């Protein structure tokens, strides 16, 4: 009897296997993503947004690489993605230059490349399919306009203005364009001067060390133009340790970029004068571009994100609580 039941079971299994095909595994879109690193709150939020949008639940197999702020790591990662025959490559570039050869390899392999956040400078724009990110020059100009208006309101429009400029990673699009906005302002205002430029590299620790050393020089400043929030955090910590107030009228004004929740809290508390938004939540935008490509559509070459700027008068607890990053 047992032998008969076993034979019947085997027959059922064979018929099931040879009959109509069963459900097949869902096809996942394979995406290789090379991220700059994890140097700032903004970058961490950007990575989280990408991981959430390009998840397996959303139909993607994501190959993620953290370049730890080294371009050679990104070049290696892209070549590995090509060898693994991914469907798409997403690149958040460390600097603008140095991408022609590796992107030509991706193009030769028929792999579309989407650039996110910072821009790239290549000899042939067809080496990448689309870019999505912020208008960094507009961000810088927004900060400069706010500063001009504040100085006029305080009756200081014609007074000498001493600016400490804390810069991000040299060669990165945000650094280049936020710096350009300040350079334009200096040309328009002969009474403005740069006291020093510090290479903060978008990190809190580096900015803290540089600010602490700068204060030892005894030079006085009126404004800190800091190209991201984490560098602002480091500078403020050094100022507070030295007993120097910032943020209020008559004190050092701190102009900061990114507008992460922690920066908005400091702005509400009066320690940062202006937070210029740089939205890191690019995951859904990249997913939308990939969906267009999957459907055979041609996405826009450039997609800019809408952004705001916040000063103390604009901030409420609700605005800060509802912040996603």
pLDDT tens string, the chain, 325 residues long: the values are 333 433 433 343 343 344 434 334 468 999 999 999 999 999 999 999 999 999 999 999 999 999 999 999 999 999 999 999 999 999 999 999 999 999 999 999 999 999 999 999 999 999 999 999 999 999 999 999 999 999 999 999 999 999 999 999 999 999 999 999 999 999 999 999 999 999 999 999 999 999 999 999 999 999 999 999 999 999 999 999 999 999 877 799 999 999 999 999 999 999 999 999 999 999 999 999 999 999 999 999 999 999 999 999 999 999 999 998 9
pLDDT of residue 249: 73
To which CATH superfamily is domain 29-134+280-294 assigned? Response regulator (3.40.50.2300)
* Residue spans in the chain of domains classed CATH 3.40.50.2300: 29-134+280-294, 136-278+312-321
To which CATH superfamily is domain 136-278+312-321 assigned? Response regulator (3.40.50.2300)
pLDDT of residue 247: 84
Give the Å distances, CA to CA, from 229 to 93, 183, 205: 20, 20, 12
């Amino acid at each position: 009897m047992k032998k008969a039941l076993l034979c019947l079971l085997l027959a059922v299994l064979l018929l099931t296997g040879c009959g109509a095909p069963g459900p097949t595994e869902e096809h996942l879109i394979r995406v290789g993503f090379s991220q700059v690193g994890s140097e700032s709150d903004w970058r961490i939020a950007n990575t989280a947004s990408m991981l959430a949008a390009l998840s397996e639940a959303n139909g993607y197999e994501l190959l993620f690489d953290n370049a730890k702020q080294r371009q050679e790591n990104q070049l290696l990662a892209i070549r590995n993605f090509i060898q693994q025959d991914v469907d798409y490559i997403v690149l958040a570039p460390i600097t603008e230059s140095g991408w022609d050869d590796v992107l030509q390899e991706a193009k030769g392999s028929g792999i579309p490349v989407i650039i996110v956040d910072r821009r790239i400078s290549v000899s042939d724009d067809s080496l990448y399919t689309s870019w999505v990110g912020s208008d960094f020059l507009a961000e810088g100009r927004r900060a400069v306009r706010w500063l001009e208006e504040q100085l006029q309101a305080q009756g200081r429009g014609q007074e000498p203005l001493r600016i400490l400029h804390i810069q991000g990673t040299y060669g990165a699009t945000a650094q280049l364009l936020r710096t350009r906005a300040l350079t334009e302002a200096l040309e328009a205002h002969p009474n403005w001067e740069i006291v020093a430029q510090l290479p903060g590299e978008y990190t809190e620790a580096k900015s803290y060390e540089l600010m602490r050393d700068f204060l030892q020089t005894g030079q006085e400043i009126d404004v800190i133009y800091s190209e991201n929030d984490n560098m602002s955090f480091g500078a403020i910590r050094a100022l507070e340790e030295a007993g120097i107030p910032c943020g209020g009228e008559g004190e050092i004004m701190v102009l900061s970029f990114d507008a992460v929740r922690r920066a908005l809290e400091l702005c509400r508390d009066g320690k940062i004068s202006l937070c210029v938004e740089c939205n890191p939540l690019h995951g859904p935008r990249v997913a939308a571009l990939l969906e267009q490509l999957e459907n055979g559509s041609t996405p826009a070459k450039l997609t800019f994100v809408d952004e705001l700027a916040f000063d103390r008068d604009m901030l409420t607890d609700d605005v800060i609580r509802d912040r996603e990053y």
